[in-house]
Structure 1
Amino acid sequence: MYINAKTFVGILLMFLISSTLFAQLDSNWKFNTYSSIYGGAAADENSIYFGNEGGEFYAISKSGEERWKLNLPGSIKSTPAVSKKAIYINTGEGMLYAINPKKGTIIWEKKLGEEKKYDLWDYYLSSPLIENDRLYLGLGDGNVVCVSLNDGEVLWSYKASDAVHATPVIEGNSLFIGSFDGFLYSLDKSNGELNWKFDTAGSTNYPNGEIQKKVVVNGNWVYVTCRGNYLYKINSETGVKDAEYFEPGSWIIAAPVLVGNNLLFGTSDSQKVRSVDKNTLKENWSATTTMRIYGQGIAAESNAYFTTFDGKVIQVNTSTGESQKVFQTQMSKENYSLIYNEQGYFRKDMLQLYGSNIAAAEKLLLLLGAFAGEGLKHDGQLIYGNSNGTLYSFTIGNE
């Protein structure tokens, strides 16, 4: 999301380091669905599972061949949860489905609540989380629910005061999940009772400090990002803040990825990849990108991979911050001149458009084949979906 046109003035394209230092990602295969993919993919030993905004849910082979497709009512903007018995996916109609992984048939379905889109930049639904015989999920009506894997029976629910589209995370006996109301909640996973809640600081335009993505838990600490421009380090037992990192003039929507003793994350308006010390949240380095980052980075060997809204995959050295574009979608190449001039700045009419018609400008950005969702690292592959409805697989080698 862009607060105003001035944000873009003076932001250069990423400085490219010599290509001899970076290997371009080899595209294994791509699978076209023709409807935007904002959720992530999940995999088992046999298949890769994902859905798109048109409600099509797919199982494909690891070489990108379709095994089955199931048409569901309601958009799919979340990442499936995989168990040995079923694949679980939720939709924009507040439905949860258990699906046979071999046949692509519905085992059971359950209406859990109501969904809504919070605003223009709310591209996601909460993704289901499985632990033992239970599944946990957030909903647009503000409820966090725990259901039985056997039939979807609701075992408990907790009501937040606004939409919950973040994905739950469990550590020990606690479930951590954020809401668009700006609170991070710690709940008892067994009964849904509140342990504590932490109120994020808001920004001028977004005073709630909305939380869109999942937290990262490491030891006794929970790390959470928000639209209020902050990354927080919070005590997992007490909910007390230990440290914070402030990003001037920009949301931090993407969840951080832990690499050694550092947290790496992408930003929105400031268009950066940053590395901060996990203990102090003091910055180690930053790398400039060409567009906002909403997805969590993926670490692989000495690098981390981030995807951008202008249809690129960026490789960043986790130690030095040296960065390079290693892939760009064909749609991005073909439509780039609609957004940028030859010098790599936003075109003047784009800046004006952001001031007068933000929705139209966002639609133009999506023409670049925006990578907006989460990626999957699986069997030496990086797998990403984009706004043009294409799922890409890139070879990174086995680790």
Structure 2
Amino acid sequence: MKRFLATLPFYFFLIFSYSALSQKNNAEIINSFSDRIFEGKGYHPISTLKWKYKTDGRIFSSPIAKNGIVYMGSEDGFLYAIEEKSGTAKWKFKTNGAIHSSPSILDNIIYFGSFDGNYYAVNTKDGKLIWKFKTGGEHWIGENGRWGMKPETQYMDDLWSFYISSPVVYKNGKSALVLFGSSDGNVYSVDAKTGNLKWKFKTNGPVHGTPVIDKNKIYIGGWDATLYALNVEFGKEIWHFATGTQMGFTGIQSSVAVSDGKVYFGAREPFFFALDAETGKQIWKYNAENSWILSSAVIRDNTVYVGTSDTYALLALDAKTGAEKYRFKVNGYVYSSPAIAGNTIYFGDFTGNFFSLDLLSNGKTSNFISTDNRKQFASSTLKNDLLDFQYAGQNDDLSFYDNNKKVMDRFYQLGSIVSSPFISNNTIYFGSADGYLYAYNLEK
């Protein structure tokens, strides 16, 4: 029997039915989704825990490491700088909002956004503010009576909108730009050293997607369900591609991957797309079986790897045709974007498991670790060790928004992993909804 699409509240199914980053440029690009390969080929499974660092909020931000320091944001409003060897905090920088944006680094400056409505540039050496840029305000997507939930007069934040846009640094010669989207509907380009506005581009909805730059183009999508290709220097539209807008299946949260003249990305419309990078014309699309694709894809050896929500899988797709090569099944939603090292791909799921998969095994060789919270709460939260929205609802009326929120909080208690991993010095780092940044050794 087909599993209910648990990324939508159960009530939604009473009123609807369904049918069954690896980019290279002439200019330098610095962002937290860049290629994360470390020394040595072969399979490098997860080994022992090196350390874990506790914050006072859930972690949705993805870490980045440079010069022996790993940086990440937390829902507690701090950006943390933590020593890679010891797991000891070197400094932390306070904002006035949750940090769901992932940081990027250029030279000795780290850039990130906060729900206080500002994007920041901070000195990596001492954690001192260099500049901040105020947007028109950052907020979740939401509406009264979202998706028909009750009460219809209540304003409801989208429960599956985990991120705001993460900044990307673009360096071309002596100049450098910081590019990011905003909940105010704009894509911004600011001077990397001063924070002065260079240009902005207006879309038709909040932009929580993260930019990717290839050659002279910036690619970014948002809640208007449209992917835009803009000129990186001037912000002029080159082309746009519209995805579907059916209720519950609207919006682009992932970043693109660019390879061999193609742009790859997923959306809440349950498809994964391949477009021509020059024209924006669709080459192929993959039917994700009513499953959102919020994960950003990575590409290796003509294979696209990307996570799905309700089919609980990491997909391996043929980059040329979109044909499914295989799927690796896990225990819950895969919103974490994968990272590759050697012949191994790493990613987390919403139940608090973190996986390593041998890319040469066609999904047959893998290992995983679980958060401590998952070990503690899995038996009471999961059904047969799988995420099940109705089961976790404990007979609550899921036509009410507040009951859906309670289910999500139960899932978060497992230590859900929507933070994407970063690999440095044979160590893999990822954040969890249990508030910990984890550092695990990888087998050499």
**How many matched pairs?**
384
1:60 aligns with 2:82: yes
Which residue of structure 2 lines up, in the alignment, with residue 370 of structure 1? Answer: 416
2:407 aligned to 358, 361, 364, which one?
A: 361
Is the CA contact (8 Å cut-off) linking 1:341 and 1:347 kept in structure 2?
Answer: no
Secondary structure of the structure 2 residue equivalent to 1:355: coil
- TM-score, normalised by the number of residues in structure 1: 0.91
1:49 aligns with 2:71: yes
Which residue of structure 1 lines up, in the alignment, with residue 123 of structure 2? Answer: 100
Residues 90-122 of structure 1: CA distance to partner in whole angstroms, max 9, x if unpaired?
111220111111111112222132111011111
Taking a change above 3 Å as real, the CA distance of residues 22 and 111 of structure 1, as seen in their structure-2 partners, is: closer
Residues 115-161 of structure 1: CA distance to partner in whole angstroms, max 9, x if unpaired?
11011111101111001211101001110000001211111000111
Taking a change above 3 Å as real, the CA distance of residues 146 and 271 of structure 1, as seen in their structure-2 partners, is: same
Which residue of structure 2 lines up, in the alignment, with residue 336 of structure 1? Answer: 378
Alignment of 1:1-399 (within 5 A): 2-3=7-8, 24-63=46-85, 64-118=87-141, 119-132=158-171, 133-202=176-245, 204-208=246-250, 210-319=251-360, 320-322=362-364, 324-341=366-383, 346=388, 349-350=391-392, 352-353=395-396, 355-356=398-399, 357-397=403-443
| Deviates most, 321-330 or 226-235 | 321-330
Taking a change above 3 Å as real, the CA distance of residues 255 and 353 of structure 1, as seen in their structure-2 partners, is: farther
Taking a change above 3 Å as real, the CA distance of residues 60 and 95 of structure 1, as seen in their structure-2 partners, is: same
Is the CA contact (8 Å cut-off) linking 1:354 and 1:361 kept in structure 2?
Answer: no
- C-alpha separation in 2, matches of 1:201 and 1:249: 12
Is the CA contact (8 Å cut-off) linking 2:46 and 2:441 kept in structure 1?
Answer: no
Taking a change above 3 Å as real, the CA distance of residues 354 and 262 of structure 1, as seen in their structure-2 partners, is: farther
Is the CA contact (8 Å cut-off) linking 1:59 and 1:66 kept in structure 2?
Answer: yes
Taking a change above 3 Å as real, the CA distance of residues 6 and 72 of structure 1, as seen in their structure-2 partners, is: closer
Residues 33-55 of structure 1: CA distance to partner in whole angstroms, max 9, x if unpaired?
12111011112113111110111
CA positional deviation for 1:317: 2.5
Secondary structure of the structure 1 residue equivalent to 2:218: strand
Taking a change above 3 Å as real, the CA distance of residues 326 and 157 of structure 1, as seen in their structure-2 partners, is: same
Taking a change above 3 Å as real, the CA distance of residues 307 and 345 of structure 1, as seen in their structure-2 partners, is: closer
Secondary structure of the structure 1 residue equivalent to 2:59: coil
RMSD value, Cα: 2.2
- C-alpha separation in 1, matches of 2:64 and 2:46: 24
CA positional deviation for 1:193: 0.6
Residues 286-343 of structure 1: CA distance to partner in whole angstroms, max 9, x if unpaired?
1211000101111222221120111001222323112545100010110112212457
Is the CA contact (8 Å cut-off) linking 2:45 and 2:367 kept in structure 1?
Answer: no
Is the CA contact (8 Å cut-off) linking 2:44 and 2:344 kept in structure 1?
Answer: no
Q: What is the letter of the counterpart of residue 308 of structure 1?
A: D
| Deviates most, 319-328 or 230-239 | 319-328
- C-alpha separation in 1, matches of 2:397 and 2:406: 8
Taking a change above 3 Å as real, the CA distance of residues 266 and 7 of structure 1, as seen in their structure-2 partners, is: farther
- C-alpha separation in 1, matches of 2:132 and 2:44: 46
CA positional deviation for 1:270: 1.1
Is the CA contact (8 Å cut-off) linking 2:8 and 2:248 kept in structure 1?
Answer: no
Is the CA contact (8 Å cut-off) linking 2:46 and 2:443 kept in structure 1?
Answer: no
- C-alpha separation in 2, matches of 1:32 and 1:225: 32
- C-alpha separation in 2, matches of 1:384 and 1:73: 23
Secondary structure of the structure 1 residue equivalent to 2:252: coil
Is the CA contact (8 Å cut-off) linking 2:64 and 2:70 kept in structure 1?
Answer: yes
Is the CA contact (8 Å cut-off) linking 1:75 and 1:92 kept in structure 2?
Answer: yes
Taking a change above 3 Å as real, the CA distance of residues 347 and 184 of structure 1, as seen in their structure-2 partners, is: closer
Taking a change above 3 Å as real, the CA distance of residues 387 and 194 of structure 1, as seen in their structure-2 partners, is: same
Which residue of structure 2 lines up, in the alignment, with residue 15 of structure 1? Answer: none
Taking a change above 3 Å as real, the CA distance of residues 360 and 235 of structure 1, as seen in their structure-2 partners, is: same
Taking a change above 3 Å as real, the CA distance of residues 84 and 286 of structure 1, as seen in their structure-2 partners, is: same
Secondary structure of the structure 1 residue equivalent to 2:374: helix
Q: Which runs of 5+ in 2 are unaligned?
A: 1-5, 14-42, 142-157
Which residue of structure 2 lines up, in the alignment, with residue 17 of structure 1? Answer: none
